[in-house]
């Protein structure tokens, strides 16, 4: 049941990034949550309690932090977890209609997974892609942009065949220790500080 | 520091918050999230004021306006006064003089009410709801939001004692901050975000001890006291400010009675004693005062207790004591009796010459108290020896925890305790290294930097000759700090020997530590100054069954496995028909401490007044009146026949005037104490009869298992339900 029981190295590594104080211990909350979420797809109550023990805080505190972010889930999600942006720009571009279409076609509501285990849906706050509204995020992999009803149907058909097209815009990116940004799939994005040539002359 | 509020010039101490400046000027500003003993966070945005300060120019002098006065640069928008520090020369405008502030506050009120369910007709906070009052005073009187409000769980039980109504919550965060900052138990928090935010716990319930305080500080009807819920409106209660006598702390409380029943107990501020917090026993354990009360005297006729009247009871006592000497009647009283009652009993004992007098609970020796509760809160180290504060003196535990977070006491203004003390911060840094707990496992030991398990009787000896790292650290701490306080609990005080007293005196002279022994009973400390212990040849309370006759006031030895009656005749004076009362020959109805006038002495030696709540007690009488009746039956005439004569006698005996005690009590030396050997005493805060029987009261809260059973859908095997979340 305990997730971190056999991952002492990982736990030590995560805690080493923060000061060795009670406050510092608590700061490790988010990476620990991310670790469980990435591995299991959701964070159960037992895992919240386990993380609370590791951080020296309470499960309430963990749930409070975790529920603030829509990227953490308390229940298992489907293989294709579709997150529809419902903030103003997407709403003006028809995300409400898109949402209605999605839930009626898939016959699934937030908190549920379709019978075949493929789909789950979620409304999320601004995905920061207003120029390409309405936007749907697939898992952690990226955005499908300007999703019309036709495009939505096409995407769903592809997912049913387990061959989803690559996202129009891969997100999110993670920043590694060396400052390099990577997509969830491990592809390089943008530049790293190490790629920069040192400035010659003058004062910084 | 000069501050000008609405044109009123003020001279305030540096560090004063804007909101306190406004109140110091005699002006008003509404607030929901600020609280005197919690960190200011500026969450509710109701205390908006306009503020501006003078500014210095490049030449280092104040920029002046046309009239030669320092020019005030106003902030472009209203600011939350509770998180703003007033600075020298600052000008503040409230709604009284500023239309901008009035409009901003009305708009904020409209926004706060945007998602409030407006349950006012049915919400039990009605009459005491800050939101309702402030909406009336500062709101527009109309809303532009006609749509359906958001909905969340109603009547969601956080515990058996506290009911949460999530949709009434206005997110002031007082309860969350309370649990984090005061008892140090982070069991409540905001879940979800934005418009979906609600308060909940993941811990499966609230921790016992101090959970009830959140019902006091909730500014709306979101957190309600389940024992008092739906039992009366605020304006229907007779509010009686009095003192809680369930433990020796003596917290200030208000007893709220309605139709002769004690329906609610709420905390009252006493900066010296309990600040504004009380324990769960004090708040929820009052049900016995109005349930199954004994209202008439009972007399045993043909082996059976039959209702009678006082004349009948006096007659029965006189008949029962025929052939006995008045000195054969042993007199025992509960240590939560008032000083006046103790004086009355002592006087009667003097008249009848009985050597068998005792009060219970008490310890065999009285250790002198030199520390106050404020000393504990502001100490730089506390050593707790053999005490379980949760059972003996819960609020003392809160004062120790206050010491751990720096001992910051909010300053006092003419308008009262500072509303927002900017030195209090959220998630305060705690100093567990300043607390050592030596003795058994308790709730407090979880907060201590040094924990040593020891038997009570050798705790001090072990501290003097440390043999573990923790003990050495504790001894070092005691030697190094300036203001240490030593708290002594039952495990130590039960076994006070001459050697112990010498060691303690030595320790105190060496380290300058102040000592706070926890009294055995709520007024043990006061009664110890009266000669209420067995005299030469007298029988102590533990030898009750050897007495020829006994008068037992509000003690129940039979329940604790002790003999419940004297050899011959037994008179019991109690509020309920206890196991001991069932064995008695005559039972006299008593009043509870909620309906008494008198004086009690708390563990610091502070004299605190008791006042009479309007409870229906039938023919119940306090001990003074009962003893007058008893004297009549014995054929003696006692000098003390009421409160006044008792207080006059105490003024002579102890040299204190009890007639006009200040609200927060006063510490006075009371002179010599009387001691005698005693049985060991195990403190227990919650008595059986203090538990509310929810079924009888018609408000049974399902426990967690029940709740889960109700949620469980039939046909599911209880496996994790599938699905994502919103």
Q: Does B193 touch chain A (CB under 8 A)?
A: yes
Cα–Cα distance, A147 to A156 (Å, whole number): 11
A50 phi and psi angles, rounded to 5 deg: -65, -45
Q: Which residues of A touch B (CB under 8 A)?
A: 23, 42, 44-45, 48-49, 57-64, 67-68, 73-78, 81, 110-113, 117, 120-123, 125
B378-403: average pLDDT? 95
pLDDT at B442 over 80: yes
Cα–Cα distance, B90 to B72 (Å, whole number): 8
A120-145: average pLDDT? 91
Whether the Cβ atoms of residue B442 and residue B52 lie closer than 8 Å to each other? no
One-character DSSP codes across A25-61:
HHHTHHHHHHHHHHHHSS--HHHHHHHHHHHTS-HHH
- The residue ranking higher by pLDDT, B208 or B6, is B6
pLDDT at A58 over 50: yes
Q: Does B189 touch chain A (CB under 8 A)?
A: yes
One-character DSSP codes across A150-175:
HHHHHHHHHHHTT-PPPPSEE--EEE
Q: Do B724 and A57 touch (CB under 8 A)?
A: no
B124-152: average pLDDT? 90
Whether the Cβ atoms of residue B332 and residue B553 lie closer than 8 Å to each other? yes
B329 SS3 class = strand
pTM of the predicted structure, to 2 decimals: 0.90
pLDDT at A203 over 70: no
Q: What is the pLDDT of residues B69-85, one digit of tens each?
A: 999 999 999 999 999 99
Please give the biggest Cα pair distance in chain A. 65
A158-171: average pLDDT? 87
**Beta strands per DSSP E along B232-313:** 238-243, 252-258, 261-267, 298-301, 304-307
Cα–Cα distance, A181 to A196 (Å, whole number): 14
Q: Name the residue among B193, B200, B722 with its Cβ closest to that of A113.
A: B722
Cα–Cα distance, B583 to B586 (Å, whole number): 9
Q: Do A67 and B188 touch (CB under 8 A)?
A: no
Q: What is the pLDDT of residues B316-325, one digit of tens each?
A: 999 999 999 9
Number of residues assigned to chain B: 726
Angle at CA of residue B532, ends B528 and B538, nearest 5°: 135
Residue A173's pLDDT is what?
61
Q: Does B66 touch chain A (CB under 8 A)?
A: no
Q: Does B190 touch chain A (CB under 8 A)?
A: yes
Alpha helices by DSSP H, listed for B576-622, are: 579-583
**Beta strands per DSSP E along A42-199:** 80-85, 119-124, 136-138, 142-144, 169-170, 173-175, 181-183, 188-189
Cα–Cα distance, B569 to B330 (Å, whole number): 10
- Percent of chain B exceeding pLDDT 90 equals 82
Q: Do A67 and B193 touch (CB under 8 A)?
A: yes
Residue A181's pLDDT is what?
67
The edge-to-edge listing of strands for the beta sheet with B606-612 is B595-601, B606-612, B666-667
Q: What is the pLDDT of residues B522-533, one digit of tens each?
A: 999 999 999 999
Residue B218's pLDDT is what?
96
- The residue ranking higher by pLDDT, B576 or B716, is B576
Count A/B contacts: CB-CB distance under 8 Å. Answer: 77
Q: From the CB of residue B660, how many other CB atoms can be counted at a distance below 10 Å? A: 6
Q: Name the residue among A58, A63, A121 with its Cβ closest to that of B724.
A: A121
Q: Name the residue among A44, A59, A78 with its Cβ closest to that of B724.
A: A78
- The distance of A192 to chain B (nearest Cα, Å) reads 34
Cα–Cα distance, A48 to B683 (Å, whole number): 37
Q: Do A68 and B192 touch (CB under 8 A)?
A: yes
Q: What DSSP character marks residue B118? A: -
Q: Does B140 touch chain A (CB under 8 A)?
A: no
Q: To the nearest 10°, report the CA torsion of B62, B100, B36, B264.
A: 170
Residues of B in contact with A45 (CB under 8 A): 202
Structure tokens that stand for B383 in this block: 């050593």
Q: Do B723 and A68 touch (CB under 8 A)?
A: no
Q: What is the pLDDT of residues B571-619, one digit of tens each?
A: 999 999 999 999 999 999 999 999 999 999 999 999 999 999 999 999 9
Structure tokens that stand for B615 in this block: 């409870």
Average pLDDT, chain B: 92
Q: Name the residue among B185, B191, B722 with its Cβ closest to that of A64.
A: B191
Q: Name the residue among B191, B194, B203 with its Cβ closest to that of A58.
A: B203
B564: nearest Cα among B545, B588, B538:
B545
**Neighbour-count burial of A50, counting CB atoms closer than 10 A to its CB (0-12 exposed, 13-18 middle, 19+ buried):** buried
pLDDT at B694 over 80: no
Residues of B in contact with A112 (CB under 8 A): 722-724
pLDDT band at B307, cuts 50/70/90?
Answer: very high
State the residue for tokens 């002492």: A8
Q: From the CB of residue B73, how many other CB atoms can be counted at a distance below 10 Å? A: 12
Q: Name the residue among A23, A44, A64 with its Cβ closest to that of B189.
A: A64
Q: Do A64 and B203 touch (CB under 8 A)?
A: no
- The residue ranking higher by pLDDT, B700 or B407, is B407
Angle at CA of residue B158, ends B201 and A3, nearest 5°: 30
Residue B704's pLDDT is what?
54
Q: From the CB of residue B608, how many other CB atoms can be counted at a distance below 10 Å? A: 29
Q: What is the pLDDT of residues B643-664, one digit of tens each?
A: 999 999 999 999 999 998 998 9
Q: Do B722 and A67 touch (CB under 8 A)?
A: no
Residues of B in contact with A123 (CB under 8 A): 726
Cα–Cα distance, B385 to B403 (Å, whole number): 17
- Percent of chain B exceeding pLDDT 70 equals 95
pLDDT band at B153, cuts 50/70/90?
Answer: confident
Q: Does B198 touch chain A (CB under 8 A)?
A: no
Q: From the CB of residue B261, how many other CB atoms can be counted at a distance below 10 Å? A: 18
């Amino acid at each position: 049941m305990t997730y971190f029981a056999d991952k002492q190295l990982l736990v030590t590594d995560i805690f080493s990034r923060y000061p060795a104080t009670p406050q510092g211990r608590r700061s490790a909350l988010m990476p620990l949550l991310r670790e469980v979420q990435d591995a299991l797809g959701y964070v159960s109550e037992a895992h919240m309690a386990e993380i609370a023990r590791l951080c020296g805080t309470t499960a309430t505190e963990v749930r409070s932090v975790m529920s603030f972010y829509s990227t953490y889930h308390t229940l298992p999600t489907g293989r294709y977890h579709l997150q529809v942006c419902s903030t103003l720009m997407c709403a003006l571009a028809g995300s409400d209609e898109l949402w209605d279409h999605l839930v009626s076609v898939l016959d699934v509501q937030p908190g549920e997974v379709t019978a075949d285990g493929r789909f789950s849906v979620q409304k999320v706050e601004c995905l920061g892609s207003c120029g390409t509204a309405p936007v749907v995020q697939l898992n952690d992999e990226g955005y499908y942009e300007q999703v019309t009803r036709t495009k939505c149907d096409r995407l769903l058909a592809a997912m049913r065949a387990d061959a989803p097209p690559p996202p129009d815009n891969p997100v999110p990116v993670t920043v590694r220790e060396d400052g390099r940004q990577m997509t969830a799939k491990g592809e390089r994005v943008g530049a790293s500080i190490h790629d920069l040539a040192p400035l010659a002359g003058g004062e910084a | 520091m000069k501050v000008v509020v609405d044109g009123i010039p003020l001279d305030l101490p540096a560090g004063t918050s804007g909101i306190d400046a406004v109140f110091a000027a005699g002006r008003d500003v509404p607030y929901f999230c600020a609280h005197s003993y919690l960190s200011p966070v500026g969450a509710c945005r109701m205390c908006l004021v306009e503020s501006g300060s003078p500014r210095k120019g490049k030449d280092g002098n104040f920029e002046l306006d046309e009239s030669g006065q320092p020019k005030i640069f106003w902030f472009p928008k209203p600011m939350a006064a509770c998180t703003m520090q007033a600075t020298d020369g600052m000008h503040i405008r409230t709604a009284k003089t500023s239309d901008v502030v009035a409009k901003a506050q009305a708009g904020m009120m409209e926004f706060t009410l945007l998602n409030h369910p407006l349950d006012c007709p049915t919400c039990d906070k009605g009459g005491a709801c800050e939101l309702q009052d402030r909406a009336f005073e500062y709101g527009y009187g109309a809303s532009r939001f006609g749509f359906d409000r958001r909905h969340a769980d109603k009547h969601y039980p956080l515990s058996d004692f506290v009911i949460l109504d999530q949709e009434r919550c206005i997110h002031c965060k007082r309860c969350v901050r309370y649990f984090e900052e005061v008892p140090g138990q982070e069991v409540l928090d905001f879940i979800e975000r934005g418009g979906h935010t609600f308060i909940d716990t993941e811990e499966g319930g609230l921790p016992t001890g101090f959970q009830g305080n959140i019902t006091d500080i909730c500014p709306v009807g979101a957190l309600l006291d389940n024992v008092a819920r739906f039992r009366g409106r605020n304006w229907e209660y007779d509010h009686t400010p009095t003192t809680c006598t369930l433990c020796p702390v003596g917290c200030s409380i208000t007893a709220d009675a309605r139709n002769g029943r004690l329906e609610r107990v709420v905390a009252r501020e006493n900066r010296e004693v309990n600040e504004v917090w009380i324990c769960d026993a004090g708040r929820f354990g009052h049900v016995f005062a109005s349930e199954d009360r004994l209202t008439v005297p009972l007399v045993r006729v043909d082996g059976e207790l039959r209702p009678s009247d006082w004349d009948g009871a006096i007659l029965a006592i006189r008949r029962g004591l025929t052939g006995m000497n008045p000195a054969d009647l042993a007199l025992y009283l509960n240590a939560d009796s008032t000083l006046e009652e103790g004086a009355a009993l002592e006087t009667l004992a003097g008249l009848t010459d009985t050597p068998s007098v005792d009060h219970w609970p008490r310890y065999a020796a009285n250790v002198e108290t030199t520390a106050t509760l404020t000393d504990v809160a502001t100490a730089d180290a506390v050593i707790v020896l053999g005490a379980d504060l949760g059972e003996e003196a819960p609020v003392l535990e809160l004062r120790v925890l206050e010491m751990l977070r720096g001992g910051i006491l909010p300053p006092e203004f003419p308008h009262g305790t500072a509303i927002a003390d900017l030195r209090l911060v959220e998630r305060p840094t705690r100093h567990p290294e300043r607390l050592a707990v030596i003795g058994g496992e308790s709730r407090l030991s979880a907060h201590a930097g040094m924990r040593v398990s020891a038997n009570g009787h050798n705790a001090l000896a072990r501290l003097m000759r440390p043999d573990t790292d923790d003990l050495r650290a504790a001894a070092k701490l005691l030697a190094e700090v300036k203001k240490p306080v030593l708290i002594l609990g039952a495990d130590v005080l039960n076994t006070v020997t001459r050697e112990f007293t010498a060691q303690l005196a030595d320790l105190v002279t060496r380290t300058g530590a102040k000592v706070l022994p926890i009294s055995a009973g709520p007024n043990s400390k006061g009664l110890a100054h009266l000669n209420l212990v067995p005299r030469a040849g007298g029988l102590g309370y533990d030898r009750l069954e050897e007495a020829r006759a006994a008068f037992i006031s509000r003690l129940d030895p039979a329940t604790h496995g002790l003999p419940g009656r004297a050899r011959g005749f037994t008179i019991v004076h109690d509020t309920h028909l206890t196991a001991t009362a069932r064995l008695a020959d005559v039972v006299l109805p008593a009043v509870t401490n909620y309906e008494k006038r008198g004086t009690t002495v708390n563990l610091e030696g502070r004299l605190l007044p008791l006042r009479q709540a309007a409870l229906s007690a039938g023919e119940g009488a306090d001990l003074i009146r009962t003893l007058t009746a008893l004297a009549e039956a014995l054929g003696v005439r006692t000098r003390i026949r009421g409160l006044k004569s008792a207080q006059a006698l105490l003024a002579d005996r102890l040299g204190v005037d009890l007639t006009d005690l200040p609200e927060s009590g006063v510490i006075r030396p009371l002179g010599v104490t009387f001691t005698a050997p005693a049985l060991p005493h195990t403190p227990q805060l919650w008595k059986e009869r203090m538990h509310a029987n929810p079924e009888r009261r018609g408000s049974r809260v399902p426990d967690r298992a029940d709740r889960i059973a109700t949620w469980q859908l039939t046909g599911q095997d209880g496996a994790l339900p599938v699905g994502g979340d919103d």
